[in-house]
Structure 1
């Protein structure tokens, strides 16, 4: 596939940007790279696209890609390496973009081998190995969250006996809240770790951690040429019946300027201690009752799902253009983001297993009632007879995005729409 859109208004030669797989929410990055006048190559991963039920050929962003290479599974590092080396031999690669958790480390490894600037491979691997990340930060004096990788229930119970309940159980490597649980007592711990799904959920190891309480936020931070770019602090919401499940985000967070600076300073210190090098990073943080930030999770990639779009709706600008420029190792001169609105997303899925409705109900009432405040409302059921209970981000079937000048109003409208949609569906949803 080839399109002729290469041009540069600044007179410089176009660079070659290689995207390794894609997600629907991050497809606008193709358009950003093309708009900047670069040659865009995409390495597709059919297995990932099928799991997300997305189709590149029907994507409006397909027209912004110059060349496409198709792999069955891009997480196969040997196949990925072979593809990248062939691409690099034909037209030298200037920068990579990888926004999928499972591919950041493989891409970083190959980029290092061929001499292309990217997020540091060893640091990205350490960030994704959650206990290793905590060990590095503890050695740097930044994080003291008690944690352990355990072999099974007995060791996890011994840890919980020392720290006290509740505790957090999660895969040692993983994303999307899949397999994560806040466990209230020993009975629940036994159920989580000895149930029929335990072997699959914790195949990368079992991490048990001290429970952190407070306000859940995330810091979105860029790093280019040793300079941090403070992009946003977002506030996160979770389901009170399964606290590890995120139900939404608002950008920017409703925190004080002092708290904002404290969160950003902590996130910068975390990224610096991990020595990630360059990129845009998503740092999940808990602000304790004492105002102290504590790390929940460090992701060596840009924020996922629709959050880059929320950033734009809130007035932050095109974060994908910034992402491309950073990964082309450009020097970026950008001050702190000054938002003009509050953008909120709420995701929802089924609380319990329910028969899949025959059709999606008419959702036109939401636009009629909320007008320009409603950016989007989508309901897409899985292609199964039964909708399974939602216990991770991949289990959501609905999403609403709202933008408003007032933070509380933005959140209220989104939550009202979820409630009314659930009533129309006749089912209880996560919210």
Structure 2
């Protein structure tokens, strides 16, 4: 298992780390910072916790956090700035950690204002404005995927005539696959653009992109003191009925050494073109049939959901500790990640609108049959009497994590468990 080799100063010089997040699953990062001897401050965002049905107070973060501040909406720049300045006056901040797209941008601006190393604000903003990101990569000669922000149907039809179908329609700003569609024909394009016009999710614009086919992977890489840290290439799966919806990941991907190097070199070139400066990044890539990597999306933050845990389960080490150290601007020599297992996650939600089952069934059979290969299986229904169609990451109500020494077996077990859970629930799920 690979662990970063650290300079002596990291353990002998306690620092003040401020986490800005609404993810309860970041508790291992708080623990890592505390284990390294640092002071830990947490700034929460109540509005998003409520909207995602997150019970932060039930998560095991308390022993690892010295001070907690709760904002109604931490994405609101002025409110976050005021709180951070109060914290900074009380105890100067040495490093920020933000693991959510919507928080990286405001944190990056505040960090620059007070002179704390962090991902560069201009690059973070460009990464999340998808059309701007593509323009920068095209100008740098990194990627030339055709795209356009359209104001309505006539421009959308003109773009599709130029590229051919299918085309991808998505919000110009956004995350979690929310609002994204792969559109197969003109009739469907008319429907999607009509739905998008005036929709708040598309307030930054309706982005059309050339459809990319091939093998869908992501590069997980860090950047510290101008040196890239190649952490992993992960393989991704999508739902065949709504191709924009991701249904799972396996770490590491089974690809050739040549493809691995091409993907990593491409991701490094993309991060360099945006001049992100510092951080751990999640770069989604399509490997075309010609072997050429093309950008799907560049995220100026660590991989989301349970993927840091998958990285650890696969034998890659403690990526949360690395995250803390990178954002404290330490010099890090990572080396090569030496995975020992394959860790797979499958997420699932309702395929169509359906009445919510009365209760979560007994899932004890999964542990009994799959033993240590099954790391976790959770089913948690949202409030209300109805399960709405899952068309983005926020619509999932179930998750299974599996770890196995064999790649195919890891995936097979995860998919079997999803299928059997769906049968037990008596509903059709995304998978």
TM exceeds 0.5? yes
- Counterpart of 1:309 in structure 2 is 309
Residues 121-160 of structure 1: matches in 2 within 5 Å? 121-160=121-160
Per-residue displacement from partner, 1:297-319 (whole Å, max 9, x unpaired)?
Answer: 00000000000000000000100
Q: C-alpha separation between the residues in 2 aligned to 1:196 and 1:268? A: 33
- Counterpart of 1:70 in structure 2 is 70
Q: CA deviation at 1:152?
A: 1.5
Per-residue displacement from partner, 1:328-358 (whole Å, max 9, x unpaired)?
Answer: 0000111021100000000000111010111
Secondary structure of residue in 2 paired with 1:427: coil
Matched-pair contact (CA < 8 Å) for 1:46–1:71: yes
2:417 is aligned with 1:417? yes
Residues 360-399 of structure 1: matches in 2 within 5 Å? 360-399=360-399
Cα 1:283/1:42, change in 2 over 3 Å: same
- Counterpart of 2:4 in structure 1 is none
Q: CA deviation at 1:10?
A: 7.2
RMSD over aligned Cα atoms: 1.3
- Counterpart of 2:269 in structure 1 is 269
Cα 1:254/1:11, change in 2 over 3 Å: closer
Secondary structure of residue in 2 paired with 1:57: helix
- Counterpart of 2:33 in structure 1 is 33
Matched-pair contact (CA < 8 Å) for 1:177–1:392: yes
Q: C-alpha separation between the residues in 1 aligned to 2:229 and 2:130? A: 24
Q: C-alpha separation between the residues in 1 aligned to 2:173 and 2:336? A: 32
Q: CA deviation at 1:157?
A: 1.0
2:176 is aligned with 1:176? yes
How many residue pairs align between the two structures?
Answer: 424
- Counterpart of 1:234 in structure 2 is 234
- Counterpart of 1:52 in structure 2 is 52
- Counterpart of 2:214 in structure 1 is 214
Q: Which moved more, 1:400-409 or 1:17-26?
A: 17-26
Matched-pair contact (CA < 8 Å) for 1:192–1:198: no
Q: CA deviation at 1:193?
A: 1.4
Cα 1:150/1:97, change in 2 over 3 Å: same
Q: C-alpha separation between the residues in 2 aligned to 1:187 and 1:391? A: 20
Q: CA deviation at 1:26?
A: 2.2
Q: C-alpha separation between the residues in 2 aligned to 1:9 and 1:257? A: 35
- Counterpart of 1:43 in structure 2 is 43
Cα 1:214/1:196, change in 2 over 3 Å: closer
- Counterpart of 1:4 in structure 2 is none
Matched-pair contact (CA < 8 Å) for 2:312–2:319: yes
- Counterpart of 1:3 in structure 2 is none
- Counterpart of 1:199 in structure 2 is 199
Cα 1:203/1:419, change in 2 over 3 Å: same
Gaps of 5+ in 1: 1-7
Q: CA deviation at 1:258?
A: 1.1
Matched-pair contact (CA < 8 Å) for 1:345–1:401: yes
- Counterpart of 1:113 in structure 2 is 113
Q: Which moved more, 1:273-282 or 1:21-30?
A: 21-30
Matched-pair contact (CA < 8 Å) for 1:150–1:205: yes
Q: CA deviation at 1:173?
A: 0.3
2:384 is aligned with 1:403? no
Matched-pair contact (CA < 8 Å) for 2:22–2:46: no
- Counterpart of 1:351 in structure 2 is 351
Q: CA deviation at 1:31?
A: 0.5
Residues 161-172 of structure 1: matches in 2 within 5 Å? 161-172=161-172
Q: C-alpha separation between the residues in 2 aligned to 1:201 and 1:69? A: 28
Cα 1:140/1:115, change in 2 over 3 Å: same
